[in-house]
């Protein structure tokens, strides 16, 4: 068996060096950083536009006092629930023929007004297309009600006092712990899923190089095919870990910068050190599980075009596995949790969610052993399938002799 690992190491070293020392690896490292940076810039630039786009603009055609009261009520509501959830108001001086003015404003695309509020605070009217009026009707009712109350209090000479709530801070509450841990579970799953989705796809085309430049025969004559598959898997895991370390380092620096915004008072159930270690181990397990499947499937492809065709169904399969693993969050000990934790391909993502929600460590030891047993099994099956279909080497015992260490040749009759 050490022969397999020695040979796998030789192949892993070659593949790792060949990948990391290539010019394209720099692009590989930079691509996510550029994408995230670009996303941050674009989202900052479009934030204001988003706020405006979230709720339709409401034109207010009311007497000045009423219009001012509505605007003040709108501002109070925006302060309480956020600008995203209240409409943008435009105060417009009313003309004599209010109905005609409203009609004209709604028809004018430059005015960017979706709905017109006319009338008085006692008898307000919303004019506009059905969907637009429905979308603001309730919130406008709330705003007008607040404006009415405010106007009534003013006319009665009652000074409006802001409500002061005394807050007593505790370290945590049962509800908040669960909420944060569910969040951590989802974040852990998301990290494993996204990284695997981005990185494991490389393995699909990994054997195409050896097949196209005929190196595969040199390898197959020198080392067991299991070692070829394992070596490639280890190499690509190494390449991915290099990427993750660099991206993680940059993300870490960014987090230090914004740490005040993201302080998390609740730890994962297993504690931060164990959670981080498990995150790394489950990423490795998930990568190797899916990677060995991809390597096996990609090994059957005879050219890059076939690999490209396979990419989409495989991405869908990954999303389905992620969906299965997602069922674990908030479902401690349920049937779905058991299924997701036992099914090998969803097990790492399910278990990281369990690590966030439950403090039992030995489950993870069992799960990791289980997952790596499946990695070995999938590699064995993939290598066997490769011999069978690509090298056209069917031993007399057939495909199901995959666990047999020593093959006995059929003696001559």
**Could you list the residues that contact another protein (CB under 8 A)?**
6-7, 10-11, 13-14, 18, 22, 209-210, 213-224, 387, 391-396, 406-412
Give the whole-angstrom CA distance, residue 221 versus residue 7.
12
Give the whole-angstrom CA distance, residue 238 versus residue 245.
10
Closer CB to another protein, residue 224 or residue 248?
A: 224
Closer CB to another protein, residue 11 or residue 321?
A: 11
Closer CB to another protein, residue 250 or residue 390?
A: 390
Minimum gap (Å) between residue 18 Cβ and another protein: 6
Minimum gap (Å) between residue 309 Cβ and another protein: 24
Closer CB to another protein, residue 181 or residue 384?
A: 384
Closer CB to another protein, residue 162 or residue 396?
A: 396
SS (H, E, C) the chain: CHHHHHHHHHHHHHHHHHHHCCHHHHHHHHHHHHHHHHHHHHHHHHHHHHHHHHCCEEEECCCHHHHHHHHHHHHHHHHHHCHHHCCEEEECCCCCCHHHHHHHHHHCHHHCCCEEEEECCCCEEEECCHHHHHHHHHHHHHHHHHHHHHHHHHHCCCCCCCCCCCCCCCCCCHHHHHHHHHHHHHHHHHHHHHHHHHHHHHHHHHHHHHHHCCHHHHHHHHCCHHHHHHHHHHHHHHHHHHHHHHHHHHHHHHHHHCHHHHCCCCCCCCCHHHHHHHHHHHHHHHHHHHHHHHHHHHHHCCCHHHHHHHHHHHHHHHHHHHHHHHCCCCCCCCHHHHHHHHCCCCHHHHHHHHHHHCCCCHHHHHHHHHHHHHHHHHHHHHHHHHHHHHCCCCCCCCCCCCCCCCCCCCCCC
Closer CB to another protein, residue 264 or residue 391?
A: 391
Minimum gap (Å) between residue 173 Cβ and another protein: 59
Closer CB to another protein, residue 50 or residue 217?
A: 217
Minimum gap (Å) between residue 82 Cβ and another protein: 55
Minimum gap (Å) between residue 22 Cβ and another protein: 7
Closer CB to another protein, residue 88 or residue 226?
A: 226
């Amino acid at each position: 068996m050490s022969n397999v690992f020695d040979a796998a190491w030789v192949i892993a070293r070659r593949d790792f060096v060949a990948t990391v020392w290539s010019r394209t690896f720099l692009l590989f490292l930079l691509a996510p950083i550029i994408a995230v940076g670009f996303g941050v810039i674009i989202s900052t630039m479009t934030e204001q536009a988003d706020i405006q786009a979230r709720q339709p603009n409401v034109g207010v055609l009311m007497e000045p006092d009423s219009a001012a009261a509505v605007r003040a009520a709108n501002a109070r509501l925006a302060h309480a629930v956020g600008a995203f959830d209240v409409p943008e108001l435009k105060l417009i001086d009313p003309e004599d023929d209010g109905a005609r003015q409203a009609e004209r404003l709604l028809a004018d695309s430059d005015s960017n007004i979706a709905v017109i509020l006319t009338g008085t605070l006692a008898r307000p009217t919303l004019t506009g297309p059905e969907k637009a009026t429905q979308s603001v009707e309730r919130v406008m009712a709330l705003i007008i009600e607040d404006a009415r109350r405010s106007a009534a209090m003013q006319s009665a000479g009652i000074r409006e006092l802001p409500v002061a709530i005394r807050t007593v801070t505790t370290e945590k509450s049962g509800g908040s712990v669960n909420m944060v841990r569910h969040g951590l579970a989802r974040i852990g799953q998301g990290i494993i899923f996204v990284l695997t989705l981005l990185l494991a796809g490389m393995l699909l085309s990994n054997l195409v190089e050896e097949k196209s430049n005929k190196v595969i025969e040199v390898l197959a004559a020198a080392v067991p095919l299991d070692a070829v598959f394992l070596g490639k898997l280890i190499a690509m895991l190494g390449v991915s870990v290099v990427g993750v370390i660099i991206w993680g380092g940059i993300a870490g620096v960014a987090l230090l910068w914004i740490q005040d915004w993201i302080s998390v008072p609740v730890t994962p159930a297993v504690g931060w050190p164990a959670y981080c270690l498990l995150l790394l181990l489950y990423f490795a397990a998930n990568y190797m599980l899916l990677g060995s499947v991809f390597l096996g499937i990609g090994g059957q492809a005879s050219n890059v075009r076939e690999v490209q065709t396979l990419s989409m169904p495989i991405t869908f399969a990954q999303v389905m596995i992620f969906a299965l693993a997602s069922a674990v969050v908030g479902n401690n000990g349920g049937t779905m949790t058991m299924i997701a934790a036992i099914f090998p391909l969803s097990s790492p993502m399910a278990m990281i969610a369990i690590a966030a929600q439950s403090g039992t460590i030995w489950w993870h030891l069992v799960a990791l052993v289980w997952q790596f047993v499946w990695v070995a099994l999938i590699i064995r099956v993939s290598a066997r399938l490769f011999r069978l279909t690509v090298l056209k080497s069917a031993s007399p015992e057939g495909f199901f002799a995959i666990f047999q260490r020593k093959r006995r040749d059929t003696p001559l009759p």
